[in-house]
Amino acid sequence: MRTHIPYLLAVASTVATRRVDERLAAYDLTVRQYGLLAQLSLEPELTMAELARQLGIARQSVHQLVNELVEAGHVRRRPGADDRSRRLEITDTAHYLLSRIDGPLERVEAQLLGALAPDEAETLRSLLQRVLAHATDDEGWLPAR
């Protein structure tokens, strides 16, 4: 019996999430909060709807994450293009936090991918980026050329 890729991705996600959450606990951050901050760092001033689409999670979840990050001083809400929408931006505190956790995240990545050669790890990264770009219909996942 062949092991299906969605199942492999789900299990890999569970293992990676647990390890990253353990590492980020020292910074009072979860992997989901990190993902939102990282996305806003790459694409400043996204709306909550845009974030939900890009991260592949429900808008309710984005609202909860944003509220947590606003309370922690990592995100600010700004008026959007219309009266109902809000643009989000990360604070200087969040930029500093992202720079501090880069090393710990690289160590988790090295632990997870330990058996892979550097070129294999980059191939995996590239393939996952392409899968995410297709699955979310968002080329923002693809590396800048």
DSSP string, 3-27: PPHHHHHHHHHHHHHHHHHHHHGGG
Sign of CA dihedral 110, 112, 113, 114: positive
pTM across the whole model? 0.86
- Checking if the pLDDT of 144 tops 80, the result is no
What is the per-residue pLDDT for 40? Answer: 92
What is the per-residue pLDDT for 68? Answer: 96
- Checking if the pLDDT of 51 tops 80, the result is yes
Average pLDDT over residues 83-94: 86
Q: What's the token pair of residue 72?
A: 């922690």
φ and ψ at residue 130, rounded to 5 degrees:
-65, -40
3-state secondary structure of 1: coil
